[in-house]
Amino acid sequence: MKLRLSPFVDRVGERKLLLIIASVSFIGELIGMRAPNVYGEPYLVAKNIVAGKGFVFAYPFTAPEVLTCYITPLYTYLQVPFLWSGIGERGIQVMNLLLLQAGCFVTYRFFRQFTTREVCISSFAALSFYIPFWALSYTLEPNSLNLLLLVLTVSNVYSLAKSPTRKGWLSLGVLFGAQLWVRPDILIGLAMFGAWLLIYATLKRRETLGGLAMAAIIGLLMISPWTARNYSIFHKFILVSANSGFNLFMGNSSASTGEISDQAPTAESIRLTNMISEYSRTHDQVEVDEYCQKLAQDWIVGHPGEAFTLDLKKLQYHWLGRSELGTQYHFAYGALTGIYRAMTLVLLAFGLYGLFVLKDRFARSLILTICIYSSAVSTIFFVQSRHRTLKVDPFLVPLAVIGVASTAQKLGPRSADGTSTSPTLSSTSSAKT
C-alpha cells in the first residue's frame, strides 16, 4: 500500500524530524531533572567500591555490610567511573537519559515496519515525552538500561523469526548475557521468547533449538566470570545474584500485600522480619536468601487460596497501578497519583485497540508474549510499578498512538465514495527510516 506522506515531513525529512523531537525531549528532561531521591542498590555498592570497601552491601533485614552477590554487577560498574571522576550523580542521570533516548529510537525502528511514518513519528514523540520514563531515568537505577536492552531483544527476536541468521543468534546471546548482568528475570523472558520462536520462526524446530542453545551458551559464558567469583566467595553456585528469595518472600508471605508498602509495619511483618534478622546472625547472605525463599514457598503451599487471591491482586496492581506508586516516580502521593492511574486506563484502552488493528500477526503475538512475561514477573515476586513501565509501556505507548490514529481514521471525514480521507495506518513491511 502506498504511504500517504505529509508535506511537512517531506519538507523537513524523517531523520531530521526525529532528531528534533529527541533534542527537544532531551532538553526538557534536563530542565525537569531533579536531584535523585531513589539511589538504588547498585549505586550504594558503587559508592562502597569508590570508598575502597569493595563490592559490599547489607542484605535487607540485616545490619552489617559485607561482600555480596545480592546486587547484579553491570550497572554498578557503569556508575563507578562517574563517581571516581567527580562527575557524580548528575552524570549518571544524564547517562540514563541518553540510554532512554536510544531505547526510544530502537522502539521506533521496530514499529516503523508496521505503520506509516506519520503515525510512527507520532509514536516516537509520545515515547520521548512519556513522563514516567523520565522519572525512572532520574533514579540511580538501571531502568533506562533495562528498557534499552529489552527493546533490542524484542527487535532481535522478531528479526530472527522472519530471517534467522548466525549473526542474529549471536546478538541474542549477547543481549541475553547483558541482561543477566542487569536483571536476572530475563531468564523468564528468554524461556518465553524461546517458546515464541519455536512457534513462529521460519526455521525448522531443530534449527531453532540449536540457535536458542547457542544464544543461551553465549549468555552464560558472558556471566561465567561473575558466577565463578560468587562460588569462590560463598562456595555455592550462584548464577548472578542471590536476591530471588527476598523478592519471593516480599510477594508471598503472611504479611505480604503484593507490594512494598510505604505504610507502617504490622505486627506480622515485624514478627517475620525479626525471624529473618535472627537467622542472619549465624548465616551469610546467600543462606538468608535461601531462608526467605523457603518461608515464601512454605506459605504458598500451606495457603494456596490466599496465594491465588494475592496473585490476582498483584495482576491488578501490575496493570492498573499500585495503591502507592513509590518514591521512584516522584509523585507517590496526591493528585498526580490519581492522574497517572487514570491515564493508565486510557493507555490500556487505546493500546489494546492498537494491538487489535496491527496487521502483523507475528508482532501482535510477540507483544502479547512481552505482556505475559511482564505479568509473570510481578505475579511470581512482588509488584514494582516500574515492571510494567519498563517492559510493556515501550510497546503500549506506540500501540496507543496507533489506536488513536485508527479511531481518528474511522471517525474522520469521508470522500464522495465513502472512503476515509484520513492518512492510512498500513505500511509495507520493508519500510525503513
Predicted confidence at residue 418, as pLDDT, reads: 52
**φ, ψ (nearest 5 deg) of residue 331:** -140, 65
Give the pLDDT band of residue 2 (cuts 50, 70, 90). Answer: very low
Predicted confidence at residue 325, as pLDDT, reads: 55
Q: Angle at CA 109, nearest 5°, toward 103 and 114?
A: 130
In a domain, 132, yes or no: yes
Predicted confidence at residue 224, as pLDDT, reads: 96
In a domain, 238, yes or no: yes
Predicted confidence at residue 203, as pLDDT, reads: 75
Mean pLDDT, range 65-84, rounded to an integer = 93
- Side-chain-side CA neighbours of 300 within 13 Å: the count stands at 17
List b or e across 152-175, with b for residues whose CB sees 16 or more CB atoms inside 10 angstroms. bbbbbbbbbbeebeeebbebbbbb
- Tens-digit pLDDT profile for residues 95-105: 999 999 999 99
Mean pLDDT, range 223-229, rounded to an integer = 96
Predicted confidence at residue 261, as pLDDT, reads: 67
The most distant pair of C-alpha atoms in the chain lies apart, rounded to whole Å, by: 82
In terms of C-beta density within 10 A (0-12 exposed, 13-18 middle, 19 or more buried), how is residue 82 classed?
Answer: buried
In a domain, 417, yes or no: no
Give the dihedral of Cα atoms 105, 111, 115, 118; nearest 10 deg.
-20
Predicted confidence at residue 23, as pLDDT, reads: 95
Higher per-residue confidence, 382 vs 413: 382
Give every CB contact of residue 227 below 8 A, 6+ residues apart in sequence: 237, 238, 239, 240
414 DSSP β-pair partners: 420
In a domain, 422, yes or no: no
Residue 238 belongs to domain spanning: 7-411
Q: Which of 391, 382, 328 is nearest to 41 (CA)?
A: 328
Cβ-contact 367, 111 below 8 angstroms? no
Predicted confidence at residue 333, as pLDDT, reads: 46
Higher per-residue confidence, 10 vs 403: 403
Q: Which of 115-119, 414-418, 420-424, 428-432 has the highest mean pLDDT?
A: 115-119
- pLDDT of 428 > 70? The answer is no
In a domain, 427, yes or no: no
In a domain, 160, yes or no: yes
Q: What's the grid cell of residue 388?
A: 510494567
Residues 108 and 433: their CA atoms lie apart, in Å, by 9
Query: Picking from 6-15, 39-48, 242-251, which range would have the lowest pLDDT averaged per residue?
Result: 6-15
Give the pLDDT band of residue 330 (cuts 50, 70, 90). Answer: very low
- Tens-digit pLDDT profile for residues 173-198: 999 999 999 999 999 999 999 999 99
Mean pLDDT, range 229-252, rounded to an integer = 92
Residues 67 and 45: their CA atoms lie apart, in Å, by 10
Q: Which of 183, 205, 196 is nearest to 372 (CA)?
A: 196
Cβ-contact 253, 303 below 8 angstroms? no
- Tens-digit pLDDT profile for residues 349-368: 999 999 999 989 999 999 99
Q: pLDDT > 90: what percent of the chain?
A: 61
Predicted confidence at residue 408, as pLDDT, reads: 85
- Tens-digit pLDDT profile for residues 129-138: 998 899 889 9
* Residue 259 CA: distances (Å) to CA of 130, 133, 147: 24, 20, 21
> How far is C-alpha 150 from the geometric centre of its chain's CA atoms?
7
Mean pLDDT, range 142-169, rounded to an integer = 94
Give every CB contact of residue 10 below 8 A, 6+ residues apart in sequence: none
Q: Which of 2, 229, 230, 32 is nearest to 128 (CA)?
A: 32
Q: pLDDT > 70: what percent of the chain?
A: 88
Q: What is the DSSP string of 246-315?
A: HHHHHHSSTT--SB--SSPPPHHHHHHHHHHHHHHTSS-HHHHHHHHHHHHHHHHHH-HHHHHHHHHHHH
Cβ-contact 384, 40 below 8 angstroms? no
Mean pLDDT, range 65-83, rounded to an integer = 93
Q: Which of 71, 52, 49, 76 is nearest to 60 (CA)?
A: 71
**Overall number of domains in the chain:** 1
- pLDDT of 144 > 90? The answer is yes
Q: What is the DSSP string of 95-149?
A: HHHHHHHHHHHHHHHHHTTTS-HHHHHHHHHHHHT-HHHHHHHHSSSTHHHHHHH
Predicted confidence at residue 429, as pLDDT, reads: 39
In a domain, 433, yes or no: no
Predicted confidence at residue 355, as pLDDT, reads: 93
Residues 433 and 415: their CA atoms lie apart, in Å, by 30
Predicted confidence at residue 324, as pLDDT, reads: 58
In a domain, 72, yes or no: yes
